[in-house]
A = this chain, B = another copy of it.
Amino acid sequence: MSGEALSKARLRLWLRLLKASGEIEAELRRRLRAEFDTTLPRFDVMAALARAPEGLRMSEISERLRVSNGNITGIVDRLAQEGLATRIAVPGDRRAMLAKLTPHGQAVFAEQAAAHEGWIDDLLAGLGAEELVAMSGHLERLIPHIEKERA
């Protein structure tokens, strides 16, 4: 492939990546709203907390999700008001707090995560097993390259 053809193929791939991920994300937002009256940022915060049963600081949640601290604090406040999360003091640091899911929050998130996995099954059902594995492998090689370009 000539350099120019390669450039055009890369641009085409980028537009398709953007379209596929944008459409999947829009559909996940719609289903989270319709079926659980929740949002994607809130689902993502609960997912981060579900993976860290010992609790996370606000700054740790925001690093994992690349969302600003202020937004995370607002989401955790709402989760706490609804009995889905709780805040506990960090031993040895009087000003820091850890957020954790409550048992009720864990149960609610487990239900949402199972539905989310089913939606991804539906949305990606257009690809066979071999295609899935090939594409996952390509992305696995691509991501460190992107990160090197960004550094």
Give the interface of A toward B (CB within 8 A).
1, 6-7, 9-14, 16-27, 30, 66, 117, 120-127, 129, 131-136, 138-147, 149-150
25 contacts between A and B (CB under 8 A): A6-B121, A6-B132, A9-B132, A9-B133, A9-B136, A10-B120, A11-B120, A13-B127, A13-B132, A13-B135, A14-B124, A16-B140, A16-B143, A17-B21, A17-B139, A18-B25, A19-B139, A20-B142, A21-B21, A26-B150, A27-B149, A123-B145, A123-B146, A123-B149, A135-B138
Interface of A, helix, strand, loop or mixed by DSSP = helix
Contacts A17-B139, A126-B141, A138-B127; A146 near B24 (Cβ below 8 A): yes
Beyond the given pairs A11-B117, A13-B136, A131-B141, 4 more chain A to chain B contacts, judged by CB atoms under 8 angstroms and listed by A's residue number, are A7-B121, A9-B132, A13-B135, A16-B140
Q: Which residues of B contact A143 (CB under 8 A)?
A: 16, 19-20, 23
Q: Tell me how many chains of this kind the complex includes.
A: 2
Q: Are A21 and B23 in contact (CB under 8 A)?
A: no
With CB as the reference atom, state the residue of chain B lying closest to A126: B145
Q: Are A117 and B150 in contact (CB under 8 A)?
A: no
Sorted from nearest, which 9 A-B pairs have the closest CB atoms? A126-B145, A16-B139, A21-B21, A10-B124, A1-B129, A126-B142, A13-B136, A23-B146, A9-B132
- Contact among B9, B124, B144, B146 for A13, CB-based, below 8 A: B124
